[in-house]
Amino acid sequence: MKALVWKFLALVLVIFIMGQVGGSCQNCIELLVVITNPASGSTVSDMVELEASIVGSLASSVTRVEFTITGGPYAPCIFTAYPPSFSTEWDTTTFANGTYSIKAKAYASGGKTAESMAVTVKVNNDIKWTFMVYMNGDNNLESAALGDLDEMKSVGSTNKLNIIVQLDKYNESGCWRYKVNQGSLTTLQTLGEQDFGDPNVLLSFVEWAMTNYPASRYVLVIWDHGGGWRRKVGEAVKGISYDDHGGSINTVELGNVFDSIDRPIHIIGMDACLMQMEEVAHQIMYEGYYLVTSQETEPGDGWPYDAILQELKNNPNMAISQLPTIIVNKYMDSYPGGGVTQSSRILYSREVAYKANDLAHAIRNNSSVWGTVKEIISSTQHYYYSDYKDLYDFAKRLKDNASMPTSIKNAAQAVMNAVVNVITAEGHSGTNLANSHGISIWLPTSTADLANYRNLDFAHDTEWDEMIDDLY
């Protein structure tokens, strides 16, 4: 709320200045820049949006805004933002606690520049974590759920770490909310039977946990079966969190849950099969900082919670960006026999979607190579569902194919670059998964499920669905 008030006041200041000099900014102001976020005098932590508003006759020609942050034991740091939003991210966890000054400088055509008034903020990253696990054992994974709960108990909560679990079982009616201690569980609430496939049940748990166990950093793990963006054709719909006595949460519903949460969840984990898809990430984009999950199916034992939580318990002051990497590495270490994948990607950039759209557009405009594109789709790295393909591998095969026109090759290279930019940690093992790079995408060999696909934000925002329609 404080940030919103500051933005309002900053914009009022712009309007006031324009009014004082008498009329249209086209005639009276060449260039004016005001920092609209963060608010001056505010306390910030974790990832912070740096945002500026620009007015004046030269506003449309501004090519960049540089935010300069000074303070602490550091040389001035510059963060650059580009049109149209003139916003960028500042990871305050890489700065010491203390007071910092921020100025914005806009660069317009003709060498014109303008600098904002400074805003002052206080960085405070004293850390406390709430690690929430939505554990759906109301299916054939009940024994695995109880085993993972034992792993959590081997570590337990501390004054810097709350481990909060909502558990549903198959062989016992009811639902339990626990705080996990070292060696024991504290029952916080006993509820009646809940359908863990109801998105409102997930939302209720998250809101309750965040209200009762406030922290500076939140992790949410959705634990259960997963099916990527949708079902496999001919099988019962799964999505994620499949409850044998209820339903499941589909990708659109999952996005609605995160839209309804009024605080950021810093790390979203899906200890479930097949969920590391561009379509899933796009549906929850900007609702968290990182998504950690698997392109391939997962073994029933899932994540090694004892190893992961012990690292967090030992070092609660770690940067947010460290924990996703730890999860990926500990997961890979726990399956030396191979045949698994795990990756972490950022959720505050749509770069992959933008570049995938450009690639789809290029393919649509070159119908003469559609037959070759379909052959490449067939040979691309796939997973348990054969129409779930590795996006990077698909792009690389296009780029390396001699018959592809330059427009497709260039777009494919841009997709590869985008995947590298958003993946923060990736692991795969086994010869059958050798061409995995961290993000899957839907590349079917028919349009049988296209109508369902078009319910997704990714389909609305890109030409990927139209490309599939053209190919088949």
Query: Which CATH number does the domain housing residue 12 bear?
Result: 2.60.40.10
C-beta of residue 275 within 8 angstroms of C-beta of residue 230: no
> Domain range spanning residue 22?
2-123
3-state secondary structure of 442: strand
With vertex at residue 290, the alpha carbon angle to CA 151 and CA 150, rounded to the nearest 5 degrees, is 5
Surface-to-core class of residue 173, CB atoms within 10 Å of its CB (0-12 exposed, 13-18 middle, 19+ buried): exposed
pLDDT tops 50 at residue 3: no
What is the structure's pLDDT at 190? 96
C-beta of residue 376 within 8 angstroms of C-beta of residue 393: no
What is the structure's pLDDT at 125? 78
C-beta of residue 54 within 8 angstroms of C-beta of residue 104: no
366-376 per-residue burial string, b: 16 or more CB within 10 A, e: under 16: eeebeebbeeb
What is the structure's pLDDT at 337? 93
What is the structure's pLDDT at 72? 87
| Residues 420-446: tens digit of each pLDDT | 999 999 999 999 999 999 999 999 999
174 with 233, same domain?
yes
160 with 215, same domain?
yes
Strand ranges for 263-339 from DSSP E: 265-271, 288-293
246 with 287, same domain?
yes
What is the structure's pLDDT at 264? 84
Share of the chain above pLDDT 70, in %: 92
324 with 427, same domain?
no
What is the structure's pLDDT at 231? 56
334 with 363, same domain?
no
pLDDT tops 90 at residue 262: no
Task: Please give the average per-residue pLDDT across 300-325, as a whole number.
Answer: 96
Domains contained in the chain, number: 3
What's the chain's average pLDDT? 92
Whether pTM exceeds 0.75: yes
